[in-house]
Amino acid sequence: MSLPVIDLSRSRTASGLDAVAAEIDAACRDVGFFYVVGHGVSTELQTRVEELAREFFAMAEPDKSDIAMRHGGRAWRGWFPLDGELTSGVPDNKEGLYFGEELSADDPRVRAGLPLHGANLFPRRPAGLRDAVLEYMAAVTAVGHRLLASISRALGLDDRWFERNLTASPTVLFRIFQYPPLVDASERWSVGEHTDYGLLTVLAQDTTGGLEVRSPDGWVAAPPIADAFVVNLGDMLERMTAGRYRSTPHRVRNVSARPRLSFPLFFDPAWDADVLPVPDASWDAERASGQARRWDGLNVHDWTGTYGDYLLAKVAKVFPALIGDVMPTS
């Protein structure tokens, strides 16, 4: 099985948008992963971000630690070292940079002390990383809005349903990960099996490969395709559609001889949004019940609350050492 490739450039016309929506609907039902091309994000910008990221990760650890996540506090931004992030309690074989929406100190959300909101930590070197990251985040966030318009149509809703109800002020988090080659690939994963938390992940990856997706027929590779993003669904979209769409487990194993870079942008509900089922979502209640038996034993269909509640619960497991800075105080 190979993942479908969907050309977003066709969505500029009404008939093209209908065709794109139908293809996305099929992909979301079948596997919850697909590629998009024709997305409009320039290759020059993508290349610039990748080159600057490689320059940053090549620096000595003391230099990178100038923007270590412990300096980011409640904003949950900055650099973490190899083995610094956990998946299902197991350290990932990767290091990374965490970014989010750039907010000033006088932003009401920052003044209110909301976790995961605030200013980013950018390194002094390479000097161009700040501008490149912020430009890239804006461009890919626009892709997220376009994708959700297609998903709205696929679900029989008007194109702006998600924007009105969940994503007028989305939670946007961006990561740059570097995965070193595995020393013993027979015993360890770069990142173990997991699902993403929110609505959509829009992922760029270098030419190394290593991403695997659990399809109904077993694990399949999601190799790099030139100028294509990999898109996958998060837990909230599976919950909102009562199981019609899949939040699909995936994992990474870098068995190449060189480091792998990936660039996931998480396009998720507003922090304070109540994540409720979409209209008429009960049509696939039987399928939702079947998908409730997840790899981690959890059931997203039993959960209730705001997206911020859900995300904080996940943060507590991914970075337990930082939880005192991230979780609200009583």
The pair phi, psi for residue 22, each rounded to 5°, is: -65, -40
pLDDT on residue 184: 78
Q: Please, what is the average pLDDT of the chain?
A: 91
| Tens digits of residue pLDDT in 96-150 | 999 999 999 999 999 998 999 999 999 999 999 999 999 999 999 999 999 999 9
Of 30-44, 99-113, 287-301, 312-326, the range with the lowest mean pLDDT is 287-301
pLDDT on residue 330: 46
26 to 112, 151, 162, 324: CA distances (angstroms): 41, 11, 19, 42
Q: Count of alpha carbons within 13 Å of 303, Cβ hemisphere only? A: 23
Amino acid letter, residue 266: F
Q: Are 123 and 145 in contact (CB under 8 A)?
A: no
278 to 27, 238, 307: CA distances (angstroms): 18, 11, 15
308-325: average pLDDT = 84
- On whether the 5-326 domain is CATH 3.40.50.300, my answer is no
Q: Are 56 and 123 in contact (CB under 8 A)?
A: yes
Distance spanning both ends of the chain, measured CA to CA: 49
Burial tier of 306 (Cβ tally within 10 Å: 0-12, 13-18, 19+): middle
Of 152-156, 174-178, 213-217, the range with the lowest mean pLDDT is 213-217
The pair phi, psi for residue 323, each rounded to 5°, is: -65, -30
Q: Tokens 């800075």 map to which residue?
A: 325
> Percent of the chain scored above 70 by pLDDT?
93
310 to 2, 33, 196, 214, 273: CA distances (angstroms): 31, 22, 11, 23, 11
pTM of the full structure: 0.95
| Tens digits of residue pLDDT in 291-302 | 545 667 778 888
pLDDT on residue 302: 85
pLDDT on residue 286: 54
Burial tier of 158 (Cβ tally within 10 Å: 0-12, 13-18, 19+): exposed
Question: Does residue 290 have a pLDDT over 80?
Answer: no
pLDDT on residue 326: 62
- Please give the biggest Cα pair distance in the chain: 54
> Percent of the chain scored above 90 by pLDDT?
77
| Tens digits of residue pLDDT in 229-280 | 999 999 999 999 988 998 999 999 999 999 999 999 999 999 999 998 898 8
25-52: average pLDDT = 97
Dihedral angle sign, alpha carbons of residues 241, 239, 110, 175: negative
Amino acid letter, residue 190: S
pLDDT on residue 321: 74
Name the pLDDT band for 320 (thresholds 50, 70, 90). confident
| 250-252 and 95-100 strand pairing | unpaired
